[in-house]
Amino acid sequence: MTAATAPAAALEVRDVVVRFGGHLALDRVSLTARPGEVTGLIGPNGAGKTTLFNVVTGLQAPQRGTVLLDGRDVTRLAPYRRARRGLARTFQRLELFGLLTVAENVELAASVRGRRRPGRSADEALELVGLRDLADVRADELPTGKARLVELARALATGPRVLLLDEPASGQSEAETEEFREVLLAVAGEGIAVVLVEHDVQLVMRTCSQVHVLDFGRVLAAGTPEEIRGNEAVIEAYLGAAPGVPA
């Protein structure tokens, strides 16, 4: 895809720096996600992927840098205001509302969206991830794989423009992962900008049009899956260690 035909970025992160005490968790990280595309974000444990999501959603204030949603600077905005501008996410460590049922979890998201923005109803969102028959189960009774799907449905019910997914496929079987990939592509097809953090490099390479590689808080490389596969630094630092990836 060339710059001329590329749609404007839905999410843009510029030069974000986050420090925890003496530890530099994010070091001038930049990232762009476009509507209709799945953008991958990979990197070893502790690279700073989740921290970046926290910065984007406003749960973690960066020491430096800016976050733009649809070109508007939201760096100082409260998390809920960003959400109302069309930002949604799932959590690596599940954050379902365990006291509520699956249906209530998703209804809550849809009710917050209100009628201001178009979006799926709770029912449609559950339908999409194939969990309608679990609607009345309490959320803390679900196995991890299913719970991740509910988180996805909940995020979708907010009618997002940008969707951040933090290891959504972990805990899923191979077949489930395949189904999940279909859902992901369908969602992106609706014009949502999806950012996918995933340790399953195969899945990322097959699904994403752009991939960013994070290592020790820095963007090691960014580009198409082919470019990433061929990148020396990435192979050395990351891919080389991941079994089953054709380098």
Partner 1 sequence: MDQFLQATITGIATAAILAVAASGLVLTYTTTGIFNFAHGAIGMLGAFAYWQLRFDWGWPAPVALLVVLGVLAPLLGVAIELVVMRGLHDAPEAARVVVSVGLLAALLGLGLWVWPTDVARPLTRFWGNEHISVLGVRLTWHEVVAILVAAGLALGLRALLYGTRAGLAMRAAVDDRALSMLNGARPHRSAVLAWAIGCTCAALAGILISPAIGLMHVNLTLMIVNAYAAAMIGRLRNLPMTFAGAVALGLLDAYALTYLPTDSILLAQFRFAIPVILLFAVLLVLRQDRLRGHAARSTREVVPRPGWSGSLATAALFVAAGVVAAQITSAPDAVAVQKIVAVAIIALSLVPLVGFAGQLSLCQMSFAGIGAVVMAHHGHGGDPVGLLLATVVAGAVGALVALPTVRLAGIYLALATAAFAMMLDLWIFGLRDFEVGPLSISIFGTGSVAVDPIDVPGVDSAHDRLVFLSVVFALLYLLVVAIRRSTFGQRLLAFKDSPAASATLGVNTMLVRLAVFTLSAAMAGFGGALYGGTLGAVSAQNFAFAQSLPLLLLAVVGGIGTAAGALVAGVLVGGLPLLVEVAPWFENVNRVLPGTMGIALGRNPNGIAHQIRVGLAPLRRQPALLAGTVAGVAAVVGLRLAEVLTGTPFALALAAVPAAGGLAAQVLAARRAAGATATEGPDDVPLEWAGIVRPFTAEEVATMDRVLGLERRPEPTPSLAGAPSGVSAPARTAAGAGR
The residues that touch Mg ion, with contacts defined as CB under 5 A, are: 49-50, 92
Structure tokens at 64: 């430096």
- Gap between the Cα atoms of 196 and 48, Å rounded: 14
Could you say which of 40, 48, 119, 160 contacts ligand ATP (CB under 6 A)? Answer: 48
Query: Residues 116, 120, 126, CA angle at the centre, nearest 5°?
Result: 145
Closer CB to ligand ATP, 19 or 84, in the complex: 19
Window contacting partner 1 (CB under 8 A); options: 104-112, 118-126, 215-223, 239-247:
104-112
Q: With binding defined as CB under 6 A, does residue 51 bind ligand ATP?
A: yes
Q: With binding defined as CB under 6 A, does residue 47 bind ligand ATP?
A: yes
* Contact (CB, 8 A) for 74 and 85: yes
- Gap between the Cα atoms of 40 and 17, Å rounded: 20
For residue 30, how many other CB atoms are within 10 A of its CB? 14
Q: With binding defined as CB under 6 A, does residue 171 bind ligand ATP?
A: no
Q: With binding defined as CB under 8 A, does residue 207 bind partner 1?
A: no
Closer CB to partner 1, 154 or 222, in the complex: 154
The least distance separating partner 1 from the CB of residue 38, rounded to whole angstroms, comes to 20
Q: Interaction with ligand ATP in 23-42: which residues (CB under 6 A)?
A: 23, 25
> How, if at all, do strands 38-42 and 193-197 pair?
parallel
